[in-house]
Amino acid sequence: MNAYLDVIMNALLVFPLMAMVFTLPYIIYNYRKYGSVFSMRILIVYSFVLYLLCAYFLVILPLPSMQEVELMSGPSTQLIPLHFLADIVKEMPADQPFSFFSLLHNRALLQMLFNIVMTIPFGIYLRYYFRCSFRKCVLYTFLLSLFFELTQLSGLYFIYPRSYRLFDVDDLLGNTLGGIIGYGIIQPFLRLLPARAQLDRRSYERGMFVSFGRRLIAFIADLLVMTLLGPLLYGMLAFLRLQLPSSALLLFCGYFALTPVLLHGQTPGMRFMRFRLIALRGRLKWWQPLLRYVLSGAFLLLPWLFGQIAQMLQPSGVPLNLFIRAALGIVYLLMLGRMTYLAGQGRMLFFERISGTRLKNLIGT
């Protein structure tokens, strides 16, 4: 039991690092599919990822040394179905074969029970969140178990010279049975849990308003596109032997002024995140997107401006200088938080009012 707990603790330690890698793609996926990131969905999906990580670590850990594996000479596979029954009988004491104490210490029985219990949560997730049918649940649980067994048979993807754990067909049966049990035991609780359709509906409702995070990802995507276009612009200017005082500013203004006009109110970043820029009245003019992004870009430059203000004040005491910088930083964070809240509520921000533009969600339309 302590060995299992140690493996689970290792999974808990690795999970934050894995979550950091997983978070951004998952956020982008949710923004593109639903238009929002719903907290309840995040809790369910991240718990599923943590469960899979724990199950995987239970399969591969503890890792033996390379020398230990090289000295192994036992069989690599056990292909006789239900062979675990013979192993259970073999480990039963002759005087009290069916006593509670003997069953509690029967390693073959405990191993089979562990294989069953390990995939019960998988069956629960498949039925509740992924809305799989019974046949798909059986198939996916079997494939998960087969992946685990092949991982063991391959010596952890041929890192080791041979397998250090047995490929057992009874493990496939036990794991598949666990998925079936999980599929069945969740049935009474489905009415108590929020349905997947309800989660989707809430997500779509929240996505009707283009949130600040969704805008930020689109803006970052546009900056990446501009980075790719930059060398083309500089090469063109060099070929034409033109020297402009600020080529970067020209690229920024031209990009955000022309792309919404050419792409029907969208920049490549907006198209990627599935929303569009429209005018409050009439058709979108070329100068409206430019004004919008100049104003929003000026807001992003406020931290630099606050730093310049603090430097100009030049207080005599260092603690006072740090206090001014901290106060200006807090003011900026409060402003950013307020704008994030307004964007999430579908209310217009200052640069939208001035430029006469707003964002329209394209998901589900």
Q: What one-character-per-residue DSSP string does 220-246 give?
A: HHHHHHHHHHHHHHHHHHHHTT---S-
Residues 6+ apart with CB under 8 A from 196: 128, 129, 130, 131
Across 187-195, average pLDDT: 88
pLDDT digits (tens, 9 = 90+) for 37-61: 888 888 999 999 999 999 999 899 8
Q: pLDDT class for 217, splitting at 50, 70, 90? A: very high
Residue 313 has pLDDT above 70, yes or no: no
Domain regions of the chain by residue span: 2-205, 208-361
Q: What is the pTM of this model?
A: 0.77
Looking at every residue in the chain, the average pLDDT score rounds to: 84
Residue 338 has pLDDT above 80, yes or no: no
Sign of CA dihedral 252, 253, 254, 257: positive
* Per-residue model confidence (pLDDT) at position 112: 92
Q: pLDDT class for 144, splitting at 50, 70, 90? A: very high
Alpha-carbon span 267 to 284, nearest angstrom: 13
Q: pLDDT class for 227, splitting at 50, 70, 90? A: confident
Residue 203 has pLDDT above 60, yes or no: yes
pLDDT digits (tens, 9 = 90+) for 270-308: 999 999 999 998 888 888 888 888 888 777 777 777 666
Q: pLDDT class for 107, splitting at 50, 70, 90? A: confident
Of 202, 356, 184, nearest to 280 by C-alpha is: 356
Residue 310 has pLDDT above 70, yes or no: no
* Per-residue model confidence (pLDDT) at position 209: 86
**Distance from first CA to last CA of the chain, Å, rounded?**
53
Tokens of 115: 């294989």
* Per-residue model confidence (pLDDT) at position 147: 96
* Per-residue model confidence (pLDDT) at position 345: 72
Task: Give the long-range contacts of residues 11-20, CB within 8 A, separation 24 or more.
Answer: 11/50, 11/53, 11/54, 11/56, 11/57, 12/50, 14/53, 14/57, 15/49, 15/50, 15/53, 18/49, 18/53, 19/46, 19/49
Kindly report the length of the chain.
365
